[in-house]
Amino acid sequence: MPSFEKCLTEVDVNKQVAIPRDFVQHLPDYEGGRTITFPVHDVSGKLWENFGYYIRKGEDYPKPVFQKDWRKYVRDKRLRPGDKIIFRVERNGDNGAPIYTIAAQKKTELFGSTIWSSEF
């Protein structure tokens, strides 16, 4: 099951989140020049119908990024810099089609130790 984890930065939370370049092979085919949208399920069961990604042009930041419902997801989960996301691709047992899921973990500092909340 392909996945990636990312601790969120200020830019990730306020604008868009960069996706590891090698993870793009697990996302819907990119048609170039526009944002590709696809459904993503969070672990609470909510469906985010318009998660979008595109690959930025130019040599400065050629990494792919999530947009569109990404911002709604951030607001809904009240994510802040330092929190973590876990993005997975699973396979539908009936037809093998990809199912995209996302989970978030909140970072809490307690007595000098970092504690991660359960996925929500």
pLDDT in tens, 47-95: 999 988 888 776 666 678 888 899 999 999 999 999 999 999 988 877 7
Residue 98 sits in a domain of what CATH number? 2.40.330.10
Q: Which domain holds residue 27?
A: 3-116
Amino acid residing at 10: E
pLDDT of residue 60: 64
Contacts of 38 (CB under 8 A, 6+ apart): 27, 28, 51, 52, 100
pLDDT of residue 92: 80
Across the range 94-120, mean pLDDT stands at: 76
Residue 1 predicted with pLDDT over 80: no
The string of pLDDT tens digits covering residues 2-58 is 889 999 999 999 988 888 888 888 888 877 677 888 999 998 889 999 988 888 776
Partners of 47 in beta bridges: 41
How many structural domains does the chain have? 1
Question: Which whole-number Å values give the CA distances from 106 to 24, 36, 58, 99, 116, in the listed order?
Answer: 25, 28, 33, 24, 6
CA distance 48 to 51: 6
CB count within 10 Å of CB 41 equals 17
pLDDT of residue 35: 83
What is the SS3 assignment for 44? coil
What is the SS3 assignment for 115? strand
CA distance 21 to 85: 16
Residues in the chain: 120
